Amino acid sequence: MSEPFVFDPRCSLCKEPYGAVPCGQTVTLHCRPMACEAFTHCAVVLQYEFSNTTRELELSCSGPEWDRICYTLQFDVPEAPDLLWYYFRLWRDDGSGCFLDKTGYRSTPVTEAWQITVYRPSHTPEWFGRGVTYQIFPDRFCRTEIPDPTGLPGNRWVHEDWSETPAWAPESDGEIYNRDFFGGSLQGIVSKLEQLRDMGVSTLYLCPIFESASNHRYNTGNYKKIDPFLGTEEDFKNLCAKAREKGIRIILDGVFNHTGSQSLYFNADGYYPTLGAAQSQDSPYYDWFNFQNWPTKYDSWWGITTLPAVREESQSYVNYIIDDYDSIIRRWLRLGASGWRLDVADELPDWFIEKIRSAMDATTSDAFLLGEVWEDASTKVAYSKRRQYLLGTELHSVMNYPFRTALLDYLKGGDANDFREVMETLRENYPHDAFYSAMNFLGTHDTARILTVLGAHEMPSTKQERAAFRLSPQERARGISLVKLAALILFTFPGSPTVYYGDEAGMEGWEDPLNRACYPWGQEDEELQARFIRLGRLRQTYEPLQQGDIVWLYTLGPVMAYSREWRRNRLVTVVNASDSVQPITLPYPTHLTDLLTGQTYFPQEGHLSLELPPRTGLLLH
């Protein structure tokens, strides 16, 4: 044996099965110290997070393997979901020895134990992870007419010019109210369904669509009513029906940690005719909120007073959102939605998310539940509590922010091996279905536009400068070349490739609300758009890109290569993110064709040698 590791849980020589395991499954561990180290005993220390117990089990010596001694143990993981942490203790007959964890041999207590995620198997709808998702900020995607704001909540005003920059500066009182609208609508989305289908889109994720005082609608005014600027309940049903005819499903944004101060439930400005919690302690919604000094001092999301936080433990709130026959979760699924994305999932209790999942499962058999989580969801700690998002009874999967972060680091000059390490950590920690159903993206409504991030030399220091900023022709050309590479990886990686509206058209913009400008109909970057369309159709056509296993072939410096393999069908993604020509040699017995350009490559003696031009990507088949 010449492998350099004593223990590597990603290698079948050391651990089977790979990664996360279902409850009650048998796990086999092999620890393989060098024979010259003369260890005579090996034990594994198992720490069970949620049951708060620790066990130490000694491995049996299964004999020498070349220059190593192999110690082996089989054990069953718990019957209940848990997070299992483990490390090894090795010692000799004379009592000397050490610990072994991720950092290597240690004489002192362990600092980085390995992880096994133990989850309860459950059904994960296949339609989400296999297909392409398109995220729409509804007010800014497409309008069919300029709406009239008269009589609507929020003291709105409407831009007549679709191409104007969204209002970004504070108003005279220093507050930002997000009350400027452009008038995008559900009917506008319907009018573009054909174009979306041509890009291979199979899921539309809509930012909030319910009545609200702001253009982003994350301060919900009425969960039971479509915002009048967007349309009506009938318009929503029509969108869902028309989308389904084209093989497209709708996921809604559920904002259940807080409402708006200008809402039916809080009603601070008295817009709604019924009593809100801020108007009377006899309001049916008073119990939903936690007042320190009624009515002006109350819990709110991150201290933002326009976003009063909800008491999820209020039974009337739970009934309204989840349990009632016509609850918000169930109502909109029955009207045509296929899933929910939970805003700020970290702010929602585990039991609350579990009840949402149960209500969805009871309402429709294939609804998908996605969570907004910015870190590794298997180890996330929120409010000093380890979360249980992916253990089988809560979320199907999460927004994959680690994917975006690692990909940007790589494309901006980082090492491909670092990207691989981040992704392999997630693949190892997540249940299989959660990893292959993750929402991967290059940008969202909460991040700067991908073209701006990859094209700009530096970020301007003031908001005013960022609002006026536009990439120079040179910056834009470089940015587009890198966005093409980013899109290639996005569309060929496990998980649902998600496009934030307008990224495929070459939209620019720094942070909110500059990243939420209107879609540039008629002024799209046609070359970039064509790349996204091509990749979307390839994703739709080739089964390996939808559900194939990922196999890493090469990651070093700016060059990366991996394959997706399914039933003897194999596609290989090759990327050079640098500004210089890079060589790469891959073992391959037959000729390959780049599905992006049609060029054919012929291997020599079982190896394919390529000279990759700067910022070039191939998809070989």
Residues with active-site annotation: 343, 372
Measured between alpha carbons, how far is 153 from 225 in angstroms, rounded to an integer? 13
Does a cis peptide bond (omega within 30 degrees of 0) precede residue 473? no
Question: E strand or H helix at 464, and its extent?
Answer: helix 463-468
Q: Show Cβ contacts of residue 109 under 8 Å, excluding neighbours closer than 6 positions.
A: 99
Of the candidates 66, 46, 67, 71, the residue with the CA atom closest to the CA atom of residue 56:
46
Measured between alpha carbons, how far is 264 from 227 in angstroms, rounded to an integer? 13
Q: How far apart, in Å, are the Cα atoms of 244 and each of 123, 128, 129, 225, 438?
A: 22, 14, 17, 22, 22
Q: How far apart, in Å, are the Cα atoms of 64 and each of 4, 9, 49, 68, 69?
A: 16, 20, 34, 6, 4
Q: Show Cβ contacts of residue 281 under 8 Å, excluding neighbours closer than 6 positions.
A: 294
**Burial class of residue 526 (count of CB atoms within 10 Å of its CB; 0-12, 13-18, 19+):** exposed
Measured between alpha carbons, how far is 69 from 35 in angstroms, rounded to an integer? 5
Of the candidates 266, 257, 263, the residue with the CA atom closest to the CA atom of residue 287:
266
